[in-house]
């Protein structure tokens, strides 16, 4: 049986490079030069902390970070900007999660997209990845094509690895 795995990973070194270049841009921008706070990467928690004096500057930090992440070749949907801003003393902070791994909700979306396309494959959830198996490699390639078409609906960057025939 042929198979492949669906994963969602962000290269930590590339992400760190993007955050570092965003920090350098923050220091050189005239409108943000004297800003307290900044951009911090927490590698263990896989989050990025933005902090500044007001929400307008936090939004500017988001734009700088997103631009640098995309320039480094990381898909912008790998960052979860949905968290609310919190006031902390005289600073406004926002925590951005870096999406890694396929969670259950995303797994359901992937399974539904493949089932709706009526491709003859089996999909199994395994921890933070999914395994897709089929009798023919052509069916696997059809499943990959379906997932690439529905990538906007899934809302998370996917990589297809470990293809075996």
Give the residue from 98, 129, 155 where a domain finishes: 98
Tell me the Cα Rg of the chain.
19
Q: What is the pTM of this model?
A: 0.80
Give the residue from 64, 98, 132 where a domain finishes: 98
d(CA 126, CA 147): 18
Per-residue pLDDT of the chain (165 residues; tens, 9 = 90+): 888 888 888 899 999 999 999 999 888 888 777 778 788 999 898 999 998 888 888 888 899 999 999 999 998 888 888 877 887 778 888 999 998 888 888 888 888 888 888 888 888 898 888 898 989 888 888 888 888 888 778 888 888 888 887
Residue 22 is encoded by which pair of tokens? Answer: 């965003």
Q: Tell how far CA 56 is from the center of its chain.
A: 24
d(CA 36, CA 57): 10
Give the residue from 98, 113, 148 where a domain finishes: 98
Please give the tally of structural domains in the chain: 2
């Amino acid at each position: 049986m042929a198979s492949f795995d669906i994963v969602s990973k962000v290269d930590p070194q590339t992400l760190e490079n993007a955050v570092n270049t965003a920090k350098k841009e923050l220091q050189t921008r005239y409108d943000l030069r004297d800003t307290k706070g900044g951009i911090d990467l927490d590698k263990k928690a896989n989050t990025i902390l933005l902090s500044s004096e007001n929400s307008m500057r936090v939004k500017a930090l988001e734009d700088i970070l997103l631009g640098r992440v995309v320039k480094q070749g990381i898909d912008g949907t790998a960052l979860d900007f949905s968290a609310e801003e919190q006031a902390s003393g005289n600073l406004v902070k926002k925590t951005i999660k870096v999406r890694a791994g396929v969670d259950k909700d995303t797994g359901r979306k992937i399974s539904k997209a493949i089932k709706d396309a009526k491709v003859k494959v089996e999909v199994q959830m395994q921890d933070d990845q999914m395994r897709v198996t089929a009798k023919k490699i052509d069916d696997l390639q059809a499943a990959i094509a379906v997932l690439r078409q529905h990538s906007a609906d899934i809302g998370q960057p996917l990589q297809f690895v470990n293809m075996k025939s």
